[in-house]
Structure 1
Amino acid sequence: MCKGVPFHLRICLLLACGLLTACHPRQPPVQVVYRFDEHRWLELKGWHCEGELWFVDQQRGIRSEVQSQFYRIFTKPYINASERYIAIPSWRTSGVMNISKDYGRTWQNSSVTGDEDDGTTRPAYDDIVSLTVVNDQGFLLTRQGRIYMSSHPFDDPRLAPGGPGIDYTIMFRGRPRQYHISPQFPGPGWGLEYIDPPRVLNKLVHKHQTNFQNLPEAIPEVKDYRGWTHMRCDLGAGLK
């Protein structure tokens, strides 16, 4: 095809082709990695199952960025049966999840507080068995049988703007000390803190808040779930 073309022109043509290719790189693949139901799903944009994570709700017209980069899928059983409250875990991460309390419109980070046998305050990823979200509450089960859970899906009304706040007493060296939680500084709000109630609740001020009282002792049954039970991702997407 290049017969009769001077050698220096061939080199220029090859360089030009290379520059055109560099200026028009392949776009990262987009794949659905999880379905909550027929109209809600998670999209991952990136190579080798790592990249941006997006939430889509067709019925409500929501498309929101959950994580801007470096997201990798959660590899354990995962059921998210709630619509308003969504908790999205990720690979090798047991302390922070992406949380939405408004049907996926906005996202915040969660925290995890426990008392593990090795002295840490959160379970190791390898110890996690599953994450279940039901009744607007999240339940993180470990192989030791512990259940890290979020609060009931409401804030203590005493901590609402204009509320009285919460007064409580702590015994210190045999003497009572009075403390107050102000509505001006109510804390993170419902659904953002996962705790292991039997091991840590009595050590936390959360025990005085109504949304952390009478928590379930077991993971509630999930009924009529239409979504996936695991995240899925094709490592070779876009490379074939």
Structure 2
Amino acid sequence: MNSLAQAKEPPVQVVYRFDDHRYLELKGYDCEGELWYTDTIRGIHTEPVSQFYRIFTRKFVHPSERYIAITGWGVGGFIVSRDHGQTWQSVGFSPGPNEPNGDDYAPREDVTSFTVVNDQGFLQTKHSLYTSSKPFEDPRILPGGPGIPYTLENGKVQVLEAQYPGEAWGMVYMTKLGLEGTTQILKTNWQNLPDHVPEVKNYQGWDHMRCAMDAGKAK
């Protein structure tokens, strides 16, 4: 079979740059396909999303290096890494009601920006701020810790223990409304969350993802 008859490899294009050594690549046609993360200094090249990824089109600012969080076109959740991009996990919104109408997620049309700074993510919508927790675990719910006692409405005392500590840091996004009445709010890494997205100064990366729809197509 000659080269002209062989299947053509899908195009690969850089769709986001965090800085001079970290970037995201999309492999596929029509701005949809595999998403790859590369860190040239640490020698990391991993695949956060294996297929059907479509870029996030709102403002995106991401100076954070250890905690990396990516969302896509539909903003239905997040793909996150807590180890500089070596491994990835899917993360959702809180199971509780984050929105005034009772929904647990932010509607795509309401999202205005996503910022990841100091190992913490901030998704801003028209009327809410979704955040991940501060980037550490409450020592009271680590193995060997005393646990966190709390009192139910009926007066019964319970203890949040290391065996069932709830979501790990960075692995769920909540609004302050969504935190109310949950055990997450008992932990120190969910205390004193900001009401606004922290200011990012001197950011060297892109502030939006970019994608050429006609990449790889014959002119």
TM-score for both structures, normalised by structure 2? 0.94
Pick from 144, 149, 170 the counterpart of residue 162 of structure 1.
144
Pick from 154, 158, 163 the counterpart of residue 179 of structure 1.
158
Q: Is the 8 A contact 2:13 2:27 kept in 1?
A: yes
Deviation track 1:150-198 (CA, whole Å, cap 9, x = no partner) reads 1111011112122222221111xxx31222222122223001111111x
Distance 1:52 1:62 in 2: 16
Unaligned 5+ segments in structure 2 are none
Q: Residue 112 of structure 1 aligns to a residue in which SS?
A: coil
The Cα shift of 1:49 comes to: 0.9
Distance 1:101 1:239 in 2: 36
Distance 1:127 1:27 in 2: 36
Say yes or no: does 1:190 pair with 2:169. Answer: yes
Distance 2:75 2:203 in 1: 25
Report 1:12-91 matches (<5 A): 24-91=6-73
Moved more, 181-190 or 27-36: 181-190
Say yes or no: does 1:220 pair with 2:202. Answer: no
Distance 2:167 2:174 in 1: 13
Distance 1:187 1:57 in 2: 31
* Aligned residue-pair number: 216
Pick from 100, 103, 109 the counterpart of residue 126 of structure 1.
109
Deviation track 1:200-234 (CA, whole Å, cap 9, x = no partner) reads 32211111111001111221110110000000011
Say yes or no: does 1:115 pair with 2:98. Answer: yes
Q: Is the 8 A contact 2:75 2:106 kept in 1?
A: no
Partner of 2:83: 102
Distance 1:131 1:93 in 2: 10
Q: CA RMSD of the aligned region, Å?
A: 1.5
Q: Which of the two has greater helix per residue?
A: 1
Pick from 129, 140, 143 the counterpart of residue 126 of structure 2.
143
Q: Residue 38 of structure 2 aligns to a residue in which SS?
A: strand
The Cα shift of 1:21 comes to: 5.2
TM-score for both structures, normalised by structure 1? 0.86
Distance 2:59 2:34 in 1: 21
The Cα shift of 1:83 comes to: 0.6
Partner of 1:6: none
Identity rate, percent: 50
Name which one, 1 or 2, has greater alpha-carbon Rg.
1
Q: Residue 152 of structure 2 aligns to a residue in which SS?
A: strand
Paired amino acid for 1:223: K
Unaligned 5+ segments in structure 1 are 1-15
